[in-house]
Amino acid sequence: MTSVKPKKYWGQHFLTDNSIAEKIVNSLNHYHNYKFVLEIGPGKGILTKYLLLNKNFTVYAVEIDECSVNYLVSELNIDEKKIIKGDFLKLNLNEIFNEQFAIIGNFPYNISSQILVKILKNKSMIPEVVGMFQKELAKRIVSLPGNKEYGTLSVLTQAWYKTEYLFTVNEKVFFPSPKVKSGVIRLQRIDKTDINYDEKLFTQIVKSAFNQRRKTLKNSLSNYNLPSFPNYKTIKDLMPLRAEQLSVEDFIEITMLISS
């Protein structure tokens, strides 16, 4: 029998509770009717086995650990062709899928923000995500203006996805137990038809504003070419505020004014 010894450097904390695994898989609400689901880091396959029960989509998985890959093939009988042995962060998603797909996973904590950033880069292919993150990061992603947790990742994610915090998972249901609690969130893409602002500039502005989050926008965005104050109502109203007080729409508005 193949065994998989948990490895710390790959963030391996295996979920041991089947009912939680089933609940995570059932959180995909399949609203967009995609035909493929990609699981990141299946490990010993506790989510995978529930995913495979759903015949509405074909399941692929990407796993960096060869021991896990062997285990999934030999013990769970998972089709070898559907398991990509490698690093999700290095995958060229366009080469694997030529249509939309959802993403699911209990993400390895050490790279979970990089996973999110990659999802955002490939958002046109990814209509839905159900993911487990370290609780604190999960809360940051879904956080709204006015909250301490609200930051760059909240704005960049919410510009494209409706975000929902679904439930918290206790550290005791993993082997080995992580030091922190986990949170499961769902992202559902907002299908915008026309994007009338420069996305790259938007990302830069959001990052600059939150890099100096205690400063007013007038100061944190002083390097940008802002239209002069009194003529623009929006600018006048927003500049005395701090980044955490602005909504996604406010950041879009600023982006449009700066590039106009």
Binding mask 209-248 for ligand SAH (x = CB under 6 A): ----------------------------------------
3-class secondary-structure state, position 131? strand
Q: Is 89 in the site for ligand SAH (CB under 6 A)?
A: yes
Distance CA 252, CA 141 (A): 18
* Distance (Å) of CA 76 to CA 46, 51, 187, 241: 10, 12, 29, 54
How do 182-189 and 58-63 pair as beta strands? unpaired
Region of 5-13, 184-192, 204-212, 249-257 interacting with ligand SAH (CB under 6 A): 5-13
Output the six-digit token pair for 163: 């975000």
Region of 74-82, 100-108, 116-124, 225-233 interacting with ligand SAH (CB under 6 A): 100-108
Q: Is 125 in the site for ligand SAH (CB under 6 A)?
A: no
The beta-strand segments (E) located in 58-160 are 58-63, 83-85, 101-106, 128-134
Work out how close the CB of 68 gets to ligand SAH at its nearest, in angstroms, rounded to a whole number: 5
Q: Is 14 in the site for ligand SAH (CB under 6 A)?
A: yes
Measured in degrees and rounded to the nearest 5, phi and psi for residue 69 equal -60, -45
Binding mask 145-184 for ligand SAH (x = CB under 6 A): ----------------------------------------
Work out how close the CB of 45 gets to ligand SAH at its nearest, in angstroms, rounded to a whole number: 7
235 in the Ramachandran plot: left (φ > 0), alpha (ψ -120 to 50) or beta?
alpha
Cβ within 8 Å of residue 137, ≥6 positions away: 112, 113, 153, 183
Closest-by-Cβ residue to ligand SAH is 41
Q: Yes or no: say if 162 and 178 are a contact pair by the CB < 8 Å rule.
A: no
How do 161-169 and 182-189 pair as beta strands? antiparallel
Work out how close the CB of 98 gets to ligand SAH at its nearest, in angstroms, rounded to a whole number: 21
Q: Is 11 in the site for ligand SAH (CB under 6 A)?
A: yes
Region of 40-48, 177-185, 211-219, 237-245 interacting with ligand SAH (CB under 6 A): 40-48
- Give the bridge partners for 94, in sequence order: none
Work out how close the CB of 165 gets to ligand SAH at its nearest, in angstroms, rounded to a whole number: 19
Q: Is 131 in the site for ligand SAH (CB under 6 A)?
A: no
Output the six-digit token pair for 128: 């839905």
Binding mask 42-71 for ligand SAH (x = CB under 6 A): xxx-xx--------------xxxx--x---
Q: Is 111 in the site for ligand SAH (CB under 6 A)?
A: yes
Count, residues in the chain: 260
3-class secondary-structure state, position 166? strand
Binding interface with ligand SAH (CB under 6 A): 10-15, 40-44, 46-47, 62-65, 68, 87-89, 105-106, 108, 111
